Amino acid sequence: MKLKNEDILALGMISLTLGVFIGLISKYLDLHYLDFSISSFLEGLFFGLSLVLNLAYLIRRRQG
């Protein structure tokens, strides 16, 4: 399945919003499992996904 440019941008913005939201909630609700912070992991995962998707959108937009 090939994603359109608008889909990539929308997923990037949603993952950015989720990363910020989890970052704000982690100040009040910090989830740990065996000395591993699950909330910090999810925050970083969504920020990284957002970075990759937004860069992919910009590269595709410039090429096409």
Distance CA(18)–CA(47), nearest Å, equals 8
pLDDT value at position 29? 81
Assess whether pLDDT exceeds 80 at residue 1: no
More confident position, 18 or 1? 18
Whether 22 and 39 have beta carbons less than 8 Å apart is answered as: yes
CA 61 to chain centre: 20
What's the pTM? Answer: 0.83
Assess whether pLDDT exceeds 70 at residue 32: yes
Assess whether pLDDT exceeds 70 at residue 20: yes
Whether 7 and 38 have beta carbons less than 8 Å apart is answered as: no
**Which residue from 43, 57, 63, 45 is spatially nearest to 11, judged by alpha carbons?**
57
Distance CA(20)–CA(49), nearest Å, equals 13
Ranges of each domain in the chain: 5-63
